Amino acid sequence: MLNVLILGVGQCGNRILDAVNKEAMGGGGASKIAKYCLKPKFPSRVETVAINTAINDLKELRYTTAKDRLHVPNLHGMGANRNVGKQAFMDNRDSIMGEIEKRGDFDIAFVLTSTSGGTGSSFSPLLINELKRQYPNITVVTVAILPFREEGSIYLQNAAFSMRELMELDADGIILADNQYMKRFSGDIASAYDKINSTIAKRLLFLIESLDSEMLSVTDLGDFKTVMNGGLRIGTMGYYQADGKNNSVKDAIENSLKPNNLLYPANVADDAARAMVIIQGSREHLDVDQITKEVEKITASAGHVFKGIVVKKGHPRVLSVFTLAAAPELESIYAQAARGMQDEKEKRSRARKQLDDAFAHIEDLEEIY
């Protein structure tokens, strides 16, 4: 059985973790006392911890038990400042790692975080480093959320710098989810968040469950690691669930890779480096020849594709995880972040000059009373 750790860091990470716990409890509503007695049903041994400097963010969680919420005290908040965040992590490193250690040993950790706020984006790279240091055999995959592009220059700047830190870590890859790309889910931000979070949560649970299942065709943690180490070691996930109208497993695989079903804009045909396609469904829907043919098609463009087949009652459901050899959308985020930083620098020096000119008026004067 896999030992899985899921850490949600900062508000966005906390909320996605809460969505994971919600899904693991069957997706229903939670009562007021739920946080004291909830017991999510995971397929593997899964431990979850929500980590945050803002106590109110932790209080708003509904499906994460009180004992799985770790408040890291920081008197004045982060102000989206990653330097303050890094210091707060280092000041509290031992207590954070102690909370994790209490939960035993792990094969894989997922770190869920936004790239753009103050807490998650600064804590996560340091936290991942510590995990890799303290658990030499652990696989650590980051699920990193990119901001809406109109959220402002500091968020974009944070995203640029924290992504670079995450990419430079000696970890096992990044699964990207892009708020901007998934904005299509809803008109208003609050319900878009809910939908985005549950979309990510469902895919993660599917992945964990599959890695720990008896498969007809086997994919395991080792294969997942190999996929995540492909290309830029940055990837994303696609998912599709067939309905009664069309039970074709071939169509389900194709659909799982269509732009509409991805968490991040990617051109799978041109840019995928490695992939893993996991198919679940009732035996009568799982035509192995059809699956093999479809997977071979993907292999023609992505270098290597692992396939996993899990017999489970229901219409075909397909999760595709892939890493990318190119990520043009990231480059445009860096360009936008750099423009924003440059604009701010110029505005600051213009303002400073204006102020200096104003001071010049009284340069040779004394106060008169």
Ligand X SMILES: Nc1nc2c(ncn2[C@@H]2O[C@H](COP(=O)(O)OP(=O)(O)OP(=O)(O)O)[C@@H](O)[C@H]2O)c(=O)[nH]1
Q: Please state the closest distance from residue 81 (CB atom) to ligand X, in A.
A: 8
Q: Please state the closest distance from residue 187 (CB atom) to ligand X, in A.
A: 15
Q: Choose among 144, 152, 293: nearest CA to 233.
A: 144
Nearer to ligand X, 18 or 294 (CB): 18
**Pairing of the two strands 108-114 and 234-241:** unpaired
CA 80, 82, 86, 91 torsion-angle sign = negative
Task: Say if residue 11 carries a ligand binding annotation.
Answer: yes
Task: Say if residue 226 carries a ligand binding annotation.
Answer: no
* Distance from C-alpha of 262 to C-alpha of 176, rounded to nearest angstrom: 10
Residue numbers of the site for ligand X (CB under 6 A)? 10-12, 15, 53-54, 78, 80, 114, 116-121, 145, 147-148, 151, 155, 179, 193, 196-197
Q: Please state the closest distance from residue 361 (CB atom) to ligand X, in A.
A: 40
Q: Please state the closest distance from residue 148 (CB atom) to ligand X, in A.
A: 6
Q: Which residues pair with 190 in a beta bridge?
A: none
Q: Please state the closest distance from residue 205 (CB atom) to ligand X, in A.
A: 16
* Distance from C-alpha of 327 to C-alpha of 232, rounded to nearest angstrom: 8
Nearer to ligand X, 147 or 235 (CB): 147
Task: Say if residue 37 carries a ligand binding annotation.
Answer: no
What is residue 52's three-state secondary structure?
A: strand
Q: What angle do CA 264, 46, 112 make, to 5 degrees?
A: 30
Nearer to ligand X, 107 or 178 (CB): 178
Task: Say if residue 13 carries a ligand binding annotation.
Answer: yes
Task: Say if residue 197 carries a ligand binding annotation.
Answer: yes
Q: Which residue is nearest to ligand X (CB)?
A: 117
Under DSSP, the state recorded for 67 is G
Q: Please state the closest distance from residue 279 (CB atom) to ligand X, in A.
A: 27
* Distance from C-alpha of 343 to C-alpha of 325, rounded to nearest angstrom: 31
Task: Say if residue 366 carries a ligand binding annotation.
Answer: no
Nearer to ligand X, 21 or 139 (CB): 21
Task: Say if residue 303 carries a ligand binding annotation.
Answer: no
Nearer to ligand X, 157 or 179 (CB): 179
Rg (CA), the chain: 23
Nearer to ligand X, 130 or 151 (CB): 151
E-only strand ranges, 95-163: 108-114, 139-146
Among all chains, which residue has been given the structure tokens 């997942």?
A: 224
As given in the structure block, the two tokens for residue 348 are: 């600051």
Residues making up the annotated binding site are 11-15, 118-120, 151, 179, 197
Residues making up the annotated binding site for GTP are 11-15, 118-120, 151, 179, 197
